[in-house]
Amino acid sequence: MENFLLIFVSIFAGYLIQKANIFSKDAATTLNQFVIYISFPAIILLQVPKISFSMEMLYPAFIAWIVMFFSALAVLFISKMMHFSKEITGALMLVGVLTNSSFLGIPIVNAYLGADAIAYVLVYDQLGTFLAFTIYGTFVASYYSSEHKLDFKLITRKLLTFPPFMALLLAFFLIGREFHPAITSTLSSLSATIVPLALVAVGLQLQFRLPKDDFKPFGAALFVKLIFAPLVAIIICEIFDFHGLFAQVSILEAGMAPMITAGVLASMAGLAPRLSSSIVGYGILVSFVTTGFLYLLF
């Protein structure tokens, strides 16, 4: 219960701060940078080495990529059937496909499944969602926006120098090893900042404007992200007979809200900025209900 209270209080506090103009306009960016450069690497180094290396550890990443693949196909199909513009299609290919597997995924999964599930969340996020955001997201933004050109060297450099990804590679080499108590304590303190800071940043970025012309693409994006995607994850787990904690984590992660950073990328690329922000904002609120239903399925 306290985890959900923290989630709502943090988001609501960020939203009030946004409306009251208490923080600077780039406050959300600053908070997210702290999380990405300090909090996130700390929790990766703290949790991933605790995993017993096995194929099971990689299953969440496998499920993540399959879910995103079919979600992208669903977005393309719906966009074609409803004759969405190239701009809107590009926006939906980002916010309707990429999931908020870390900033919201970590506190929500922790609330439902406990701290032991966080390691699988990190694998789903880093080897699944993050890689997709870096490679697929950059490609989509470049393809659907005439202002951007494909730069595969830039994509590779961003991937290899992204702090959480670097921390993940280091954590893989540390699997099975125990840290000195002082190091563990430090990592624990730093990783504890990820939830409040990330969720306050979410509140600072929430946008709820939704013109009538955006109803159809808005509904399509949330349908694919919050209903279709977790359904695909459930089907995959049934086909491959996946059971246990990693399967539950993967299903919950597939049904998380749209990735905030994907909305930022869509806006930066000029892909329906107002629509993208609305999908992310409303998606966060609706996902609290849909992930609750997914948990009941377990």
Query: Considering the entire predicted model, what is its pTM?
Result: 0.80
CB atoms within 10 A of CB 10: 20
**Residue 27 to residues 9, 40, 54, 215: CA-CA distances in angstroms?**
18, 18, 40, 30
The CATH number of residue 19's host domain is 1.20.1530.20
Residue 63's closest CA among 8, 14, 124?
124
CB 102 within 8 A of CB 191: no
Give CA–CA dist 265/281, Å, rounded: 15
3-state secondary structure of 65: helix
Residue 294's closest CA among 238, 245, 234?
234
**Contacts by 155-161, CB closer than 8 A, 24 or more apart:** 158/134, 159/131, 159/134, 159/135
Domain that residue 209 falls in = 2-297
Query: What does the DSSP 8-state code read for residue 193?
Result: T
Give CA–CA dist 90/218, Å, rounded: 13
CB 46 within 8 A of CB 191: yes
Helices (H), the chain: 2-20, 27-34, 40-47, 55-81, 86-95, 105-113, 118-123, 131-132, 138-144, 152-161, 163-173, 181-191, 194-205, 215-223, 229-239, 245-254, 260-268, 273-297
Q: What is the pLDDT along the chain (298 residues), one digit of tens a residue?
A: 566 788 788 888 988 999 898 998 888 888 878 888 898 889 888 887 877 667 777 899 999 999 999 999 999 999 999 999 999 999 999 999 999 988 788 888 988 998 889 889 988 988 889 878 877 887 888 788 765 565 667 667 766 777 888 888 888 888 878 889 999 999 999 988 887 887 788 788 776 667 777 889 999 999 999 999 999 999 999 999 999 999 999 999 999 999 887 887 887 778 888 788 888 888 988 998 999 999 998 7
Phi, psi of 99 (to 5 degrees): -105, 155
CB 259 within 8 A of CB 100: yes
Give CA–CA dist 211/273, Å, rounded: 12
For 106, the token pair is 């970590």
Q: Which pLDDT value is given to residue 96?
A: 96
Give CA–CA dist 117/69, Å, rounded: 24
Domain count, the chain: 1
Phi, psi of 205 (to 5 degrees): -105, -5
Give CA–CA dist 77/83, Å, rounded: 10
Q: Which pLDDT value is given to residue 159?
A: 67
Give CA–CA dist 213/221, Å, rounded: 14
CB atoms within 10 A of CB 62: 18
